Amino acid sequence: MTENLVVVNGKKLIDWGSFHREFAAAFGFPDFYGNNMNAWIDCMSSLADPDEGMTKIHCAKGRVVTLQIDHAADMKAEHPELFSALLESVAFVNWRLVQVGEPPVLALALDV
């Protein structure tokens, strides 16, 4: 396993409930996680700041966590709304950090 690599099975992402359950489990989101995309973005934005307590996965500032979505092509074909939300949210996490002078924190690996 590569350091800072998180693998999520895209075949398990079939609706919003499963999307949030899988990511909460993979990244160790806190118990108070809101199960919505705003909460997802907030959690993922703190990957380089372990003191925030939003994830159990962390990386050093200036490094990235690579999110590998296995079976992403299937997810894209079968659940395009979830797939699109994932892409947009990863991009927003990185954009949000860049806007405040921080480096991007997420890389995305897909088999589309």
Between CA 21 and CA 35 the distance in angstroms is 8
Domain hosting residue 55, numbered range:
5-110
Q: How many CB atoms lie within 10 A of CB 100?
A: 7
The model's pLDDT over 49-105, given as tens digits with 9 standing for 90+, comes to: 999 999 999 999 999 999 999 999 999 999 999 999 999 999 999 999 999 999 999
Those residues with Cβ within 8 angstroms of residue 27's Cβ, 6 or more apart along the chain or in another chain: 6, 43, 44, 55, 56, 57
Q: What is the mean pLDDT of residues 3-29?
A: 96
Rg, Å, the chain Cα set: 13
How many domains in the chain? 1
Give the model's pLDDT for residue 3: 64
Which pTM was predicted? Answer: 0.93
pLDDT at position 1 over 70: no
CATH number at residue 90: 3.30.370.10
71: left (phi over 0), alpha (psi -120 to 50) or beta: left
